[in-house]
Structure 1
Amino acid sequence: MEGDASMDQHRSGSQSAAVRPAEPQTVAEIVNSGDPFSVLGPHEVSPNRWEIRAILPEADAAAILDRDGVTVLAPMEKRLPDGFFVGTLTASERPDYRLRIERQGRTEIRHDVYSFGTFLSHDDLMQISDPASDAVYTRLGAHHRDLGGIQGFLFAVWAPNARRVSVVGDFNDWDGRRHPMRRRHEGGVWELFIPNVTPDQRYKFEIVGLQGNLLALKADPIAFAAEHPPATASILKGEPEFRWQDGEWMKSRAARNHRKAPMAIYECHLGSWARVPEEGNRYLSYRELAVRLIPYVKDLGFTHIELLPITEFPFDGSWGYQPISLYAPTSRFGTPEDFAAFVEAAHAAGIGIILDWVPAHFPNDPHGLSYFDGTHLYEHADPRLGFHQDWGTYIYNFERREVMSFLVANARFWLERYHLDGLRVDAVASMLYLDYSRKPGEWIPNRYGGNENLGAIDFIRTMNEVAYASSPGAVTIAEESTAWPGVSHPTYTGGLGFGFKWNMGWMHDTLRYISKDPVFRRYHHHDLTFGLLYAFSENFILPLSHDEVVHGKGSLIGKMPGDQWQRFANLRAYYGFMWGHPGKKLLFMGGEFAQEREWNHDVSLDWHLLSEPLYKGMQALIRDLNRAYRSIPALHEKDCEASGFEWLVADDRDNSVIAWARRGDEENSLAIVVSNFTPVPRVGYRIGVPLAGHYREAVNTDAAIYGGSNMGNLGRVATEESPSHGHPFSLTLTIPPLATLILVLDHEGAEAKI
């Protein structure tokens, strides 16, 4: 983009043809021509004779001034009653002038929008359809420009099938006659530089469709900021500018996001983590969240925060999963600069930020992408390909290169401009399968007769390749619930290229198990063990997400059977099982202190519960589990490798006891995880182990500080030379009721710090 070019350079494209065009009969004829520059602005109609033409429907009278806006060069005649003005100058070369507008007794001096030439080059326009380019958000949208001291914004929008596009906003009384745009045919793009508009003004695009129909005003698809819903206008911001000071974090984050690194993710909905009830139940701002949320997450030992979508969305009840403005952080919590400050505060605290990102579908709100230029531009025209029946949303036409570029560039945008550390891609399964949630006859097979969405697969692979290449150290995560092979495998091996995949199967199986009364668990023991058959086929994250605590599913603590003590003991044992299990960890907010109530996006979490010991104890357990997970290499270094896991006790269904060994990269890096999912203590329970020595109880979920009965092994137990479970050594353990133990081999008897 030629942002620093001189004013003269951009005037070089102005009209200079010694011919007078046919006199327009109406302003609408000019506005709807698709090429307002052919009529408006300066035109040499005969040698040394120039006509200056302008649409000024708001003006009572107008005149042409010199470039300094002082001397009147010529009056302008109102040729049409709805505001077409013409003035004549004698000049040997293209004149440099200003317009004076008389309006209701007030005088305004302005630059003529139509005296400027083109801005976007042919290469700019071609790059918009290149998924490897960032041209979508560096060329399209609204960008501040300084043309030799003339400040303004260059507007550009992709609308190839529109008959007319105008910029409307606070600066022109939302009047589509005043700023019709220039069509650039080679890219299907419309552009217009408007001087003297300023940041924070609202704007939209007024579009006349292919059939001549006037569409609802459209928000800018590339807007960097938007109004607080239910208002729907885009806001002029220019490219997000922030003086980043997180250089050390950016250099180190590749190691933090590595499959061998500990990754404990706190999933968070910013609108309901905490509110301010004494001030009308308002949201916390991004900057307030930086002060309150980030220290809280750091204290609990999480390594990352995953944000439910904060790309601007109209409906609170969608939680952000039906976004409209993909390039704008939601204004619910502040400005783009405020969001950048939140990210930087997280990095300063050693916390990574992951964004839930939604490229699978978009809502049908009239100001959004649907039917954008009067045609199905972003979405498929055929509802069998382009409409989600479950969600009432449109599906992107991934096979259209401009649409792919729009989405791939958006992934780059968040990673590059806001220094985000990862994208968790929502609803991947719905993209991969043409028959997703469809009956026979409701979908169209691909060109090979299969149900794979080839365009979406190409998009996903391209997005991952571009994201990893352009943002070293960032990570992508798939929410994908099927058996699609190689989701987290590199694209050069035929995989989709994600860094990690949510393990939805593990979540469903184990929640089903833990919700059973202990007396029946022996009949469902396979729900604990089945996940290990495929645990290392992908780089998995174990998710206990927001989806498990909404829509009548209740809270996690609400799923637990038994009396109050047993419910809390069950959940503590389950958390210990999860943190000891192979795979990275994700927990939705409120789960860390066992919120009783199902999540409600309209109110704060129930923080008052932390005044009671059982809830406070659950929070303390999560803190200690995270500390152990981060500091014990055996619990994270081989989360994604089969060589880091060994069954010790997999078949004791009668006692509902399960045990395994976890190994790190070093030969003697070993941890033992043992769970008892009955309320019966198991005293003198022998477990074979691969290495001799003293084992320390790094975590005992039955400890009194967590609200348990305080049974255990007095903090330490030594091996015996008594073979068991195929190993020459064994431990004789007291396994508390409804509890998980994590035992760590002490090296030379030394205490390992957690």
Structure 2
Amino acid sequence: MSSHSNGTLAAEDVSALEAGRHGDPFACLGRHPSGKTTVIRTMAPGAERVEVFTPKGRAPVTTLKKIGDHGLFEGTLAASKAKSGYLLKAWQGEQSWTYDDPYRFGPVLDDFNLHLLSEGSHERAYECLGAHVMTYEGADGTHFAVWAPSASNVSVVGDFNHWNAAQHPMRSRGASGIWELFVPGIEDGAHYKFCIFGAGGRQLPLKSDPFAFGTEYRPNTASVVRDLKGYDWTDEGWMKGRGALQDRTKPISVYEVHLGSWQRTWDAENPFLDYHELAEKLIPYVKGLGFTHIELLPVTEHPFDGSWGYQPVGLYSPTRRFGTPADFKAFVNACHEAGIGVILDWVPGHFPSDEHGLAHFDGTHLYEHADPKKGFHPDWNTLIFNFGRREVENYLVSNAQFWLEEYHLDGLRVDAVASMLYLDYSREDGEWIPNEHGGNENLEAIQFLKHMNERVYSLSDGIMTVAEESTAWPGVSTPTSAGGLGFGFKWNMGWMNDTLDYMSKEPVHRKHHHHQLTFGINYAFSENYILPLSHDEVVHGKGSLIGRMPGDRWQKFANLRAYYGFMWTHPGKKLLFMGGEFAQEREWNADASLDWHLLENADHKNIQTLVSDLNRLYASTPALHRRDCTADGFEWIDGGAAEDNVVSFLRWGDPGDPPCLVVCNFSPVPRHGYRVGVPYGGHWAEVMNTDSAHYGGSDVGNYGGHAAEDVPWHIKPYSLMLTLPPLGTVVFRHEG
């Protein structure tokens, strides 16, 4: 029994309040009319006495009495003195602190927003849930709201209340499952979590906010109040014009970056460059190489560095490793001012089971499927979102919109789409549950992806979504109105696997694998493709790109140069993972900087120069990009010269654009007098030769180009008599 009076409360209410387990704290705390007086109750753990002041008063109007053992106080005052609000001052010895009473404020969320959240149709759920700095009913503070429908009660705890669940229990909003509380005096930078008690009264591990805009620096896991309002964007020109830059007819060349290992500091405690340092170093580097976009491996908050961001816990928070949300906005703004688009690697398919995250969030399988045959990912030991639950789908779709609108991002590359589309992905018979039609398609995930793409593409011009999808699923980049998934682009994983395997063969064996070079054209225009040489190709024992090339050192670099020439002239947009632009020799290590010292070596510097020149050739030559995604932009001259290890083809732009002839010799033997058919007479200028001495090659070439001869060849009315450099790609542009 309490050693103090229970005041006007029942003993069980006092006990529940002081334990932080009261299901309806607003029924007890705050101000409550009682005839001609007002009863005021407050939780002030650690206080010896509490005084009540009017907002402008200097002297207390009443002193509250302690009615429990752990900080519950109660008192009365005239009703007229409480109408205009009041402040509370708690004393512990000679120390005191003044605070406004959270329990004198009404609910913040109105019925309309609760309705939209409940039916999963709120386009900006993040504007309601999470932590929002605001002025409410005349007081400055932060509104906290969290979805936990099976909780018996929820408190917000943080550095502002000594992580004491009894001090700030939240208001239940009934059937919506949402709990909310406006806490006056809480500002940007406060650390917090939610203390949730399950339906049976069991206290769960403290949970980070699923909608948190900020987080602590790892390994700490608290959410951080961040006020996202007020950033002064200066990228209006880019935002208005990007629609004309991200169309499938435009040159798109993407530099894929892991911010944690592009460059590092010497500080073992904080080895990462921050967003401002990255803006100063990364942006001009990418701009100088001629890339049009930066694609960031996930920067959504993740507890484990080794996941590279692919196991996120804070989907609404840019990781604290590199700075604050305002710092990230400054980075994106700087990219746009430099004319560089920013694509975020986005992971809506799964999440880790860390106890402070979404797993078993309110004591139930709230965000994940309860059945492990649908809710557990065997490859990554992660949990799979329950895409069929309307609130979960709304959480994810709103998240996509959040990054694009709040941070002005230009696109989302959606990770592991295949794992979402198939119920039997990486599962044996008996380990998965068929859909309602008996098939292996995840109908709920399909609907989610379609809904996400429809929402994203309705926002503004120029936004793009890209699917990492490794199967033959039809219509990935077809609009949903035509029965597709609605993505803008799809990674061409088949092309990447086939051509890398071909390039790894010794040239003497390549004739037996020639189809790996040519097969990709059979489906190259079934989707809007991006050709990716991504991070996945330089990890897990695969080695580096240069390390996979056969031959001696000269041949390795020549092979890589020829391969890059083939890639940049092949139909499809381009993506290259960092380090590939200067032929990093060791496998990528996410815990260390790239080997920048290699640029002191001419072989590596020459590769960097080649990539820069290829980007500029690609961007300045309409025939190499205008029809990347349509069959009328490509024509074989000779795709069957397997014995020679040679392919030749034409690239076409719009009517009036000069066509380009591309000839790749993947043999170490120079070929003189090699006749290739062309459609037009006149001069064909050699505009790229990967064997040029400028790139470290043997300088075998065609002296700037040739005039076409009136000799029909390859079913063409004219032909060129060429010299093909060893392990080289040459590009000719018709100049009439």
- Normalised to the residue count of structure 1, the TM-score between the two structures is 0.95
Partner of 1:84: 72
1:241 Cα deviation (Å)?
3.6
1:615 Cα deviation (Å)?
0.5
Q: How does 1:261-272 map to 2 (within 5 A)?
A: 261-272=250-261
Contact 2:255–2:286 (Cα < 8 Å) also in 1: yes
Select the residue among 620, 624, 632 that pairs with 1:631. Answer: 620
Q: Does 1:318 align with 2:310?
A: no
2: CA distance, partners of 1:716 / 1:25: 90
2: CA distance, partners of 1:114 / 1:354: 43
1: CA distance, partners of 2:657 / 2:216: 57
Distance change in 2, residues 1:284/1:29 (3 Å): closer
Superposed CA deviations along residues 527-567 of structure 1, whole A, max 9, x for unmatched, are 00111110000000000000000000000000000000000
1:23 Cα deviation (Å)?
5.0
1:321 Cα deviation (Å)?
0.3
2: CA distance, partners of 1:267 / 1:363: 24
Contact 2:681–2:718 (Cα < 8 Å) also in 1: yes
Distance change in 2, residues 1:376/1:339 (3 Å): same
1:359 Cα deviation (Å)?
0.1
Partner of 1:676: 665
Select the residue among 714, 717, 739 that pairs with 2:728. Answer: 739
Select the residue among 44, 48, 51 that pairs with 1:63. Answer: 51
Contact 1:63–1:87 (Cα < 8 Å) also in 2: no
Distance change in 2, residues 1:281/1:73 (3 Å): closer
Contact 1:122–1:186 (Cα < 8 Å) also in 2: no
Code of the residue aligned with 2:64 in structure 1: it is M
Distance change in 2, residues 1:260/1:270 (3 Å): same
Partner of 1:6: none
Query: What is the alpha-carbon root mean square deviation over aligned residues?
Result: 1.5
Superposed CA deviations along residues 563-613 of structure 1, whole A, max 9, x for unmatched, are 000000000000000001000000000000000010000111111111111
Partner of 1:7: none
Q: How does 1:495-506 map to 2 (within 5 A)?
A: 495-506=484-495
Contact 2:17–2:166 (Cα < 8 Å) also in 1: no
- Aligned to 1:571, the other structure's residue is in SS state helix
Partner of 1:304: 293
1:223 Cα deviation (Å)?
0.7
Q: Does 1:462 align with 2:451?
A: yes
- Aligned to 2:311, the other structure's residue is in SS state coil
Contact 2:89–2:96 (Cα < 8 Å) also in 1: yes
Q: Taking every aligned residue pair, what percent have the same amino acid on both sides?
A: 58
Select the residue among 457, 466, 485 that pairs with 1:477. Answer: 466
- Aligned to 1:617, the other structure's residue is in SS state helix
Select the residue among 99, 120, 128 that pairs with 1:110. Answer: 99
Moved over 6 A (4+): 278-281
Partner of 2:36: 48
Partner of 2:675: 686
Select the residue among 386, 403, 419 that pairs with 2:408. Answer: 419
Q: Choose 715-724 or 554-563, whichever is displaced more.
A: 715-724
Q: Does 1:159 align with 2:148?
A: yes
Contact 2:36–2:79 (Cα < 8 Å) also in 1: yes
Superposed CA deviations along residues 707-731 of structure 1, whole A, max 9, x for unmatched, are 1000000011110110001110111
Q: Does 1:249 align with 2:238?
A: yes
Gaps of 5+ in 1: 1-18, 749-754
Gaps of 5+ in 2: 1-6
Code of the residue aligned with 2:637 in structure 1: it is L
Q: Does 1:292 align with 2:255?
A: no
1: CA distance, partners of 2:73 / 2:79: 19
1: CA distance, partners of 2:290 / 2:32: 68
Select the residue among 25, 28, 33 that pairs with 1:39. Answer: 28
1:502 Cα deviation (Å)?
0.1
Superposed CA deviations along residues 393-419 of structure 1, whole A, max 9, x for unmatched, are 000000001000100000001100110
Contact 1:69–1:97 (Cα < 8 Å) also in 2: no
1:24 Cα deviation (Å)?
3.9
2: CA distance, partners of 1:354 / 1:175: 40
Q: How does 1:91-240 map to 2 (within 5 A)?
A: 91=79, 95=83, 96-129=85-118, 133-147=122-136, 149-240=138-229
2: CA distance, partners of 1:281 / 1:139: 34
- Normalised to the residue count of structure 2, the TM-score between the two structures is 0.97
1:66 Cα deviation (Å)?
2.0
1: CA distance, partners of 2:550 / 2:172: 65
Select the residue among 522, 525, 547 that pairs with 2:511. Answer: 522
2: CA distance, partners of 1:257 / 1:668: 20
Q: Choose 137-146 or 100-109, whichever is displaced more.
A: 100-109
2: CA distance, partners of 1:635 / 1:131: 44
Contact 1:435–1:442 (Cα < 8 Å) also in 2: yes
2: CA distance, partners of 1:205 / 1:278: 33
Distance change in 2, residues 1:181/1:274 (3 Å): same
Q: Does 1:621 align with 2:610?
A: yes
1:442 Cα deviation (Å)?
0.5
Code of the residue aligned with 1:312 in structure 2: it is E
Code of the residue aligned with 1:397 in structure 2: it is N
1:668 Cα deviation (Å)?
4.6
Superposed CA deviations along residues 456-510 of structure 1, whole A, max 9, x for unmatched, are 0000000000011113211000000000000000000000000000000000000
Code of the residue aligned with 2:39 in structure 1: it is E
Distance change in 2, residues 1:280/1:231 (3 Å): closer
Partner of 1:725: 714
